[in-house]
């Protein structure tokens, strides 16, 4: 082996190493492919797991019906009994429990769950459930942000504000949001309001503290520089503290939005269950676990998708960042930057 | 400590003496009267500055030098109004200083440009703070950018600039706010030697073209002699004024003067004041493992 080839292989997992675009893309695909392959292996390779037998021909076993899944030992015992009486043996294939559908079943369910009308007229289509869930999250997160971000900025910038509000917020954020479910229903009724309130409670307290911490990391010398340039406190806040932290605050909101998603299912169970959670519970009741898995996957896809979109926007929103990409940033400046000649003008 | 006296300051030539005379005749822009600063720490109070008094005349270039820990930075932060003094007072044009203000610009050692603003927006910041509209502020900012030699970089962001260029922008940004005094806290400390030398001559050029009084903190004695009219030497722990000395080197300054007797004499005196000769230890007595035999050749 060439020494250079050996070094390249080793460098892929080097501590704090950098990744070229190709390995980056390959690893991204692998991170999804590996779990998918594991799932496929468990689903399609008969000797991996498969603790049950799916009956295809009941034979003379009276309590068997085609399509029934029984424990492997129970299947053997029943067949042994039939064999003793010289009856027809039941035939079956190794199978997994019904709650672990194979990838292709879930993929089919993904398609059909969007394409099939609901079984009862008052039930919702999957996409309607999904939109309802997204609306709940958006409203909860929006209300939280409208109060939480300004309060967090105030806490981060003004120590007295932090001292006044943070000890209580620190205490309150340990109270689990779902615990307020009953209270929210009592106060806000059984429809969407208590669900939005749970998302709010789950997000708000973290949000204020996270925003405050980010704002506290603003370089003090930037504020001092503004002071020596004659900036009054209002401008120190609005024209230094806020822009200095806004790019990091944007990233914080992406993380917080992810947390809001984790509160979604609990929130939707409160009062009358609704949205994607209602769909999941209903399908579980019908024992349509392929639909359940499909719905769970959809939550993941929508969550990851929205984060990727926000990341993409973020790289274009703050043109002063080193990793900035041109695009939306052009909206915020009047003229584009000229090519840089670093040492030239010295 | 030995009693060897400090080398005497060289005598200024006639033209330089006359220039320094004229400088002393100008009005005092900055007056510092028995300034003291004590910090409260967990180990009790720490006295950083004691009874510091001096004044700076209009258009003067004053350097403050001293060993590390002599309170140079504390002093300049007090002058800027970023810290409150424990005793004494600071007057700018006869008015006492109370907090930071536009009359005292500051250039910091670290880069304190606003990363989210382009060069022209950075320089226009102080102008806008004084109530100027955006358009007027931008066009005036462009003139200041020209002055520091950065035409063509108006629309770049700070992270696209080299260290020296960033400090030029910082100087332009401070000057644009039209301060009476420009305070500079080791502004070239983070630059490499070559850029540093360029920035020193550049600063003198700017100082010549703009009606500004400069108070410049440095620990680099060559830099102090090269730049200033007068040097304030501080003693450490607590910081006190050791000596004022007027630099007898003629202006305009150039790097060729470094070898002149006026320059070297001033440099030698400063060096003696800041690093008084220590008694020589008997090095031979110090027990030390011999690590090398090859190294024996180096001395």
What are the residue boundaries of the structural domains of chain B, listed by start? 14-103+179-298
Residues of B in contact with A339 (CB under 8 A): none
Total Cβ atoms within 10 A of residue A260 = 25
Which among B106, B114, B161 has CB closest to A228?
A: B106
Contact call for residues A202 and A142 (beta carbons, < 8 A): no
* A342: nearest Cα among B159, B122, B59, B252: B159
pLDDT at B284: 61
| Contact in structure between A56 and A17 (CB atoms under 8 Å) | no
Instruction: Compute CA distances A192 → A101, A141, A180, A260, A264, whole Å.
Output: 32, 14, 15, 15, 12
Residue A280: CA count within 13 A, CB half-sphere: 21
ipTM here: 0.86
Mean pLDDT across A143-165: 95
Q: What is the distance in angstroms between the Cα of B36 and the nearest Cα belonging to chain A?
A: 21
| Residue of B287 and A27 predicted with greater confidence | A27
Question: pLDDT per residue over B143-162, tens digit each?
Answer: 999 999 888 898 999 999 98
Mean pLDDT, residues A50-63 taken together: 87
pLDDT at B287 > cutoff 70? no
pLDDT band at residue A282, thresholds of 50, 70 and 90?
Answer: confident
Q: What's the whole-number mean pLDDT along residues A77-91?
A: 87
* Beta bridge partners of residue B89, listed in sequence order: B33
What mean pLDDT is predicted for residues B46-64?
Answer: 91
Whether A343 has a pLDDT exceeding 90, the answer reads no
* Residue B285 burial (10 A CB sphere; 0-12, 13-18, 19+): exposed
The whole-angstrom distance between residue B102's C-alpha and the CA centroid of its chain comes to 19
> How close B180 gets to chain A, by Cα (Å)?
12
B233 bridge partner residues = B65, B243
Strand A52-57 and strand A69-71: the pairing is antiparallel
Terminal-to-terminal C-alpha distance of chain B: 27
What's residue B218's pLDDT? 92
CA distances (Å), B189 to each of B67, B108, B218, in order? Answer: 15, 10, 8
Contact B103, B121 (CB under 8 A): no
pLDDT over 50 (residue B1): no
From the CB of residue A297, how many other CB atoms can be counted at a distance below 10 Å? 14
Least confident of A26-40, A191-205, B181-195, B267-281: B267-281
Q: Is B110 on the interface with A (CB under 8 A)?
A: yes
Question: Distance between CA B37 and CA B77 in Å, rounded?
Answer: 11
Taking a C-beta distance cutoff of 8 angstroms, is the pair B168, B158 a contact?
no
Rounded to whole angstroms, the Cα distance separating A273 from B266 reads 85
Cβ of residue A337 closer than 8 Å to a chain B Cβ:
yes
Q: What is the pLDDT of residue B291?
A: 64
Alpha-carbon distances of A63 from A81, A85, A91, A162, rounded to whole Å: 13, 16, 14, 69
pLDDT digits (tens, 9 = 90+) for B154-194: 899 999 998 999 999 999 999 999 999 999 999 998 899 99
Task: Say whether A222 and B116 touch across the interface (CB within 8 A).
Answer: no
Kindly give the pairing relationship between strand B230-235 and strand B240-246: antiparallel
Q: Does A121 touch chain B (CB under 8 A)?
A: no
Which chain B residue is nearest to residue A242, measuring alpha carbons?
B116
Question: Strand (E) positions, B17-113?
Answer: 28-41, 44-57, 61-66, 87-92, 95-96, 104-107
Spatial distance between the Cα atoms of A217 and A229, rounded to a whole number of angstroms: 21
B67 Cα distance to chain centroid: 14
Q: Which CATH superfamily is domain B14-103+179-298 in?
A: P-loop containing nucleotide triphosphate hydrolases (3.40.50.300)
Residue-level pLDDT at A113: 74
pLDDT at A8: 53
Out of A224, A228, A333, name the one closest to residue B118 (CB).
A333
Q: What is the pLDDT of residue B172?
A: 93
Report the C-alpha gap between A149 and A245 in whole angstroms: 12
Q: Which of B104, B164, B198 sits opposite A228 (nearest CB)?
A: B104
Q: Is the peptide bond before B82 cis (omega within 30 degrees of 0)?
A: no
Task: Tell me, yes or no, if A234 comes closer than 8 A to chain B by beta carbon.
Answer: no
Nearest chain B residue (CA) to A340: B160
> What is the average pLDDT across A227-256?
93
Among A121-135, A151-165, B72-86, B253-267, whose mean pLDDT is lowest? Answer: A121-135
Residue A346 confidence (pLDDT) = 36
- The CA distances from residue A206 to A197, A212, A213, A252, B155, in Å, are 15, 10, 11, 10, 38
Give the one of A227, A243, A337 whose C-beta lies nearest to B100's C-beta.
Answer: A227
Dist. CA B62–CA B217, nearest whole Å:
9
Residue A342 has pLDDT above 50, yes or no: no
Q: Looking at the complex, does the CB of residue B84 fall below 8 Å from at least one CB of chain A?
A: no
Peptide bond into B238 cis (omega under 30): yes
Nearest-CA residue of chain B relative to A225? B112
- The number of angstroms, rounded, from the C-alpha of A251 to the middle of its chain's C-alpha atoms is 15
pLDDT score recorded for residue A339? 45
Does residue B173 sit at the A interface (CB-CB below 8 Å)?
yes
Between residues A140 and A329, which one has the greater pLDDT?
A140
Q: Nearest to residue B183, comparing CAs of B210, B217, B228?
A: B217
Q: Is the pLDDT of residue A272 over 70?
A: yes
Q: Which of B97, B99, B100 has the highest number of chain A CBs within 10 A, making it the mutation to test binding with A?
A: B100
Phi (first) and psi of residue B53, to 5 degrees = -130, 135
CATH code that applies to domain A114-328 = 1.10.3720.10
């Amino acid at each position: 082996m060439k020494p250079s080839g050996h070094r390249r292989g080793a460098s892929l997992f080097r501590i704090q190493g950098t990744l070229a675009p190709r390995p980056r893309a390959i690893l991204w695909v692998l991170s999804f492919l590996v779990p998918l392959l594991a799932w496929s292996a468990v689903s399609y390779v008969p000797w991996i797991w498969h603790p049950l037998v799916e009956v295809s021909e009941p034979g003379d076993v009276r309590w068997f019906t085609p399509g029934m899944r029984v424990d492997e030992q129970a299947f053997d015992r029943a067949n042994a009994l039939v064999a003793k009486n010289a009856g027809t043996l039941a035939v079956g294939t190794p199978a997994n429990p019904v709650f672990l559908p194979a990838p292709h079943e879930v993929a089919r369910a993904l398609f059909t769950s969007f394409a099939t009308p609901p079984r009862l007229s008052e039930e919702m289509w999957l996409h309607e459930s999904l939109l309802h869930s997204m609306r709940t999250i958006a409203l909860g997160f929006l209300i939280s942000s409208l109060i939480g971000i300004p309060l967090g900025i105030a806490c981060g910038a003004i120590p007295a504000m932090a001292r006044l509000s943070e000890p209580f917020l620190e205490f309150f954020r340990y109270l689990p949001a779902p615990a307020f479910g009953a209270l929210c229903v009592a106060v806000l009724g059984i429809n969407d309001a208590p669900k939005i309130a749970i998302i709010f409670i789950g997000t708000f307290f973290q949000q204020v503290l996270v925003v405050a911490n980010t704002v506290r990391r603003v370089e003090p010398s930037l504020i001092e520089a503004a002071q020596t340039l004659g900036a009054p406190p209002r401008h120190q806040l609005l024209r230094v503290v806020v822009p200095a932290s806004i790019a990091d605050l944007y990233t914080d909101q992406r993380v917080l939005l992810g947390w809001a998603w984790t509160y979604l299912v609990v929130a939707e169970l409160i009062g009358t269950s609704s949205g994607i959670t209602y769909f999941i519970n209903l399908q579980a009741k019908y024992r349509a676990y392929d639909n359940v898995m499909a719905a769970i996957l959809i939550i993941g896809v929508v969550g990851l998708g929205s984060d990727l979109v926000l990341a993409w926007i973020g790289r274009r929103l703050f043109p002063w960042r080193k990793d900035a990409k041109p695009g939306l940033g052009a909206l915020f400046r009047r003229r584009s930057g000229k090519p840089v000649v670093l040492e030239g003008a010295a | 400590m030995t009693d060897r006296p400090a080398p005497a300051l060289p005598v200024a030539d006639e033209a330089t003496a006359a220039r320094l005379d004229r400088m002393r005749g100008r009005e005092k822009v900055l007056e510092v009267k028995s300034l003291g600063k004590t910090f409260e720490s967990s180990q009790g109070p720490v006295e950083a500055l004691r009874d510091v008094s001096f004044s700076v005349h209009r258009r003067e270039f004053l350097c403050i030098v001293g060993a590390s820990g002599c309170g140079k930075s504390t002093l300049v932060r007090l002058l800027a109004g970023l810290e409150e003094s424990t005793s004494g007072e600071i007057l700018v044009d006869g008015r006492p200083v109370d907090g930071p203000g536009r009359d005292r610009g500051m250039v910091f050692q670290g880069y304190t440009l606003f990363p989210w603003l382009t060069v022209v927006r950075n320089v226009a910041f102080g102008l806008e703070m004084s109530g100027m509209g955006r358009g007027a502020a931008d066009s005036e900012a462009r003139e200041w950018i020209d002055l520091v030699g950065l035409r063509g970089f108006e629309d770049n962001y700070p992270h696209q600039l080299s260290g020296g260029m960033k400090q030029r922008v910082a100087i332009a940004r401070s000057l644009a706010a039209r301060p009476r005094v420009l305070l500079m806290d080791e502004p070239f400390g983070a630059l490499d030697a070559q850029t540093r030398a360029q920035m020193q001559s550049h600063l003198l050029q700017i100082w010549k073209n703009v009606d500004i009084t400069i108070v410049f903190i440095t620990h680099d004695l060559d830099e102090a002699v090269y730049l200033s009219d007068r040097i304030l030497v501080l003693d450490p722990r607590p910081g006190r004024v050791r000596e004022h000395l007027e630099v007898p080197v003629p202006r305009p300054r150039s790097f060729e003067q470094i070898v002149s007797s006026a320059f070297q004499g001033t440099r030698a005196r400063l060096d003696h004041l800041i690093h008084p000769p220590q008694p020589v230890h008997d090095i031979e007595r110090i027990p030390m493992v011999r690590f090398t035999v090859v190294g024996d050749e180096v001395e």
